[in-house]
Amino acid sequence: EVQLLESGGDLVQPGGSLRLSCAASGFTFSNYAMIWVRQAPGKGLEWVSAITGSGSSTYYIDSVKGRFTISRDNSKNTLYLQMNSLRAEDTAVYYCAKGSENSFPYYIDYWGQGTLVTVSS
């Protein structure tokens, strides 16, 4: 059974940093792309960042480029999202998600339960 367990969400001040983690199990982690998707309170879904199975290729939406860094440790079956220079508009539940394959085109086939990031003074 695929399981994705996020952690690291917290209340942080504007300009602050946070690192999210996602522990994966139930599949061969290194064989699949992984994704972070966020959902602002009461809003829709936004695909934030993605990384291939080896970690060699990454993708970011424009609004987080230069501030967020996605990475993975395949030896620990763990996905990360380092978030710097946080803004109020980054406030959201952040979901860790598994890609259906390692390379394009892949869709999200499993989701974690999410971790809440609140950016506020």
Partner 1 sequence: EIVLTQSPGTLSLSPGERATLSCRASRSVSSNYLTWYQQKPGQAPRLLIYGASSRATGIPDRFSGSGSGTDFTLTISRLEPEDFAVYYCQQYGSSPRTFGQGTKVEIK
Q: Which is nearer to partner 1, 16 or 108 (CB)?
A: 108
* Count of CA atoms in the C-beta half-sphere (13 A) of 67: 16
Q: How far is the CB of 100 from partner 1 (least distance, A)?
A: 7
Q: How far is the CB of 54 from partner 1 (least distance, A)?
A: 19
Stretch that binds partner 1, among 9-17, 24-32, 55-63, 76-84 (CB under 8 A): 55-63
φ/ψ (deg, to 5) at 29: -55, -45
Structure tokens at 21: 């983690």
Q: Does 114 bind partner 1 (CB under 8 A)?
A: yes
What contacts 14, CB < 8 A, 6 or more positions away?
A: 86, 87, 88, 119, 120, 121
Q: Which is nearer to partner 1, 59 or 71 (CB)?
A: 59
**For tokens 């996605």, what's the residue?**
70
Binds partner 1 by CB under 8 A, chosen from 1, 41, 75, 105: 105
Q: Does 108 bind partner 1 (CB under 8 A)?
A: yes
Binds partner 1 by CB under 8 A, chosen from 7, 10, 23, 46: 46
Is residue 80 classed exposed, middle or buried when 0-12, 13-18 and 19+ CB atoms within 10 A define those classes?
Answer: buried
DSSP-H helix ranges across the chain: none
Contact positions toward partner 1, by CB under 8 A? 44-47, 50, 59, 61-62, 95, 100, 105-114
